[in-house]
């Protein structure tokens, strides 16, 4: 089963990259549909800026260690998700990096996952869903979600550089096609969750499909079809 999953993921690699590239305008346009003036988003942006304030006061080694741990755990999460048994996760003592060992040959999704998927934010969203089933959502929860959005953007930004060993494994061309829209998808999903939970994410994905269809019709009309 693991081999079949890997083959399927590899088969989907470039079609997904092209789709994400074509969807980039829709992800940008979708930002206009969020009501950023609502109190829930004001609280979210408060948490977002609080992260960068706290980051400026954080010890460099602590920050690096947190990023490495998040990076390796995201690799591990997608390894498990695609039925690979994780054997070892380690972090270098000097905070220069980390390694993960798992059974099987792996796939590009495991390699690229830390560069677009907000694992800590996702864990928080799941925990928040459990909590809000017993208590109403409040602005503090919105602010904490904003903090995790800030953490995700900072982590991804600091990890994408010329010395990063993961990116050449999937090719820089693929990264250029896939990662911009993938990160917009992640951020847009968290923004949608901020006000309407998981239903908000479902609505957000429908919005992206609507905008893609609208953009396609516009291009077809523009070239005379």
Give the angle subtended at the CA of 192 by the CAs of 185 and 142, to the nearest 5°.
120
User: Would the pLDDT of 70 be above 90?
Assistant: no
User: Would the pLDDT of 55 be above 90?
Assistant: no
Average pLDDT, the chain: 89
Residue with the larger pLDDT of the pair 82 and 133: 82
User: Would the pLDDT of 93 be above 70?
Assistant: no
- Largest pairwise CA distance in the chain: 61
Domain that holds residue 119: 2-222
pLDDT mean over 141-165? 89
What tokens were used for 21? 């590239």
pTM score: 0.90
Single out the residue of 117, 121, 110 nearest to residue 75, CA to CA.
Answer: 110
Residue that is written with structure tokens 């789709």 in the block: 19
**Cα–Cα dist 119/132, whole Å:** 20
User: Would the pLDDT of 90 be above 90?
Assistant: no
User: Would the pLDDT of 98 be above 80?
Assistant: no
User: Would the pLDDT of 8 be above 80?
Assistant: yes
Provide the number of structural domains found in the chain: 1
Per DSSP, 200 falls in state H
């Amino acid at each position: 089963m693991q081999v079949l999953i890997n083959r399927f993921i590899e088969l989907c690699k470039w079609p997904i990259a092209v789709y994400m590239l074509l969807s980039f305008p829709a992800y940008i346009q979708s930002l206009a549909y969020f009501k950023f003036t609502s109190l829930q988003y004001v609280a979210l942006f408060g948490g977002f800026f609080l992260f960068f304030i706290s980051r400026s006061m954080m010890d460099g080694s602590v920050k690096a260690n947190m990023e490495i741990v998040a990076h390796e755990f995201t690799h591990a999460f997608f390894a498990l998700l695609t039925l690979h048994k994780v054997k070892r996760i380690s972090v270098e003592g000097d905070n220069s990096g980390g390694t993960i060992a798992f059974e099987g040959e792996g796939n590009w999704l495991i390699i690229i996952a830390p560069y677009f998927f907000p694992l800590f934010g996702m864990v928080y969203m799941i925990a928040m869903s459990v909590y809000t089933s017993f208590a109403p959502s409040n602005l503090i929860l919105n602010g904490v979600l904003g903090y995790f959005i800030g953490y995700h953007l900072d982590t991804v930004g600091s990890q994408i550089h010329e010395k990063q060993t993961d990116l050449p494994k999937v090719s820089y061309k693929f990264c250029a096609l896939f990662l911009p829209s993938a990160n917009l998808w992640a951020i847009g999903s968290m923004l949608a969750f901020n006000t309407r939970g998981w239903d908000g994410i479902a609505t957000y994905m429908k919005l992206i499909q609507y905008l893609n269809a609208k953009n396609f019709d516009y291009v077809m009309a523009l070239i005379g079809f």
